[in-house]
Structure 1
Amino acid sequence: MSRAALIMVLGLGLFAGCYGPKSDPEGTVKSFYSAIEAEEWMTLHEMIDPESLQKSGGPGRAAAFYYSIYQDIQDLDLTIEESLVTRPDETAVVRFKCTATFRALGEMPHDNDCSDTLSLRYHDGKWYIMIPGTEGLRPKI
């Protein structure tokens, strides 16, 4: 393989594994659920609002919370339905449809609805997810 092709393949591999907060609310939600689908539990805290993370008990507790819900995930299909920046450069709400295919050891695969509405908070040019129950009132669009 040529050196240029190798560099391109390595670059794509690094980009494919790049999770983290994004510059738009929809991007952060997609990145967050991509990390869940890839079972990258310890990277989730990078996309969670620091105040929300502190209220939930820190990165380990946040990872354990999402692991307990999605530990047997095999596939995840997420579609953003609506995104609304409620206060520019402060808060946003994203509503999405989500279907997760689970397959626990010894069980047949089954689909569960994981659709939700999440609040996000803006910091330093990026949007961060508020863990449900730490943001106050439940968001609605």
Structure 2
Amino acid sequence: MSRAVLIAALGFSLFAGCGGPKSSPEGTVKSFYSTIESQDWLDLAEMVDADSLSKSGGPQRVAAFYYSIFQDVRDIDLTIEEALVQVPNQQAAVKFKCTATFRALGEMPYDRDCSDILPLRWRDGKWYIVVPGTGGLRPSL
């Protein structure tokens, strides 16, 4: 294998491993918003809890929900404030500060607050996002 092909393959594997659910609630939230920032709408579904996906109508509906909110996003600045594992390795909530910079075609960029508290569920060694309105009570920290 040539050196250029090897370097390209290593670079791709590094970036391919960046998305998806993580072993920490904070990591999953960061990965989720990074995926939104890169506008990989269908890749969001792999970070959403299976029950939440089912109650939302499937991966395409979840992608459409987040697309409708973040379709013109160009940059997201996210800082985790607090993470609380509510039931050991079952449920968690992550509170974060978030500013999204939007820029629609032909418009000037503007910032909007996207700070929130997201609930997560633990499955198969990773944390998954619970879509708002599909998981019972809203978490509070």
In the alignment, structure 1 residue 83 sits paired with structure 2 residue 69: no
Q: Which amino acid aligns with 2:89?
A: D
Aligned CA-pair RMSD:
1.4
Q: Which amino acid aligns with 1:65?
A: F
Shift of 1:40: 0.4
Which residue does the alignment assign to 1:10?
9
Which residue does the alignment assign to 1:20?
20
- CA 1:8/1:88 → structure 2, altered by over 3 Å: closer, same or farther? farther
Give runs of aligned pairs for residues 46-57 of structure 1, distance below 5 A: 46-57=46-57
Over the matched positions of the two proteins, sequence identity in percent amounts to 61
Q: Which amino acid aligns with 2:139?
A: P
Q: Which amino acid aligns with 1:79?
A: T
Whole-angstrom CA distance in 2 between matches of 1:23 and 1:12:
22
Shift of 1:89: 1.2
Q: What secondary structure does 1:74 align onto?
A: strand
Shift of 1:85: 0.5
Whole-angstrom CA distance in 1 between matches of 2:137 and 2:29:
19
Q: What secondary structure does 1:121 align onto?
A: strand
Matched residues, number:
140
Whole-angstrom CA distance in 1 between matches of 2:71 and 2:138:
25
Whole-angstrom CA distance in 1 between matches of 2:95 and 2:7:
35
In the alignment, structure 1 residue 122 sits paired with structure 2 residue 85: no
TM-score, length-normalised on structure 2? 0.94
- CA 1:110/1:17 → structure 2, altered by over 3 Å: closer, same or farther? farther
Whole-angstrom CA distance in 2 between matches of 1:105 and 1:64:
19
Which residue does the alignment assign to 2:99?
99
Runs of 4+ in 1 over 6 A off after TM superposition: none
Q: What secondary structure does 2:68 align onto?
A: helix
List gaps (5 residues or longer) in structure 2: none
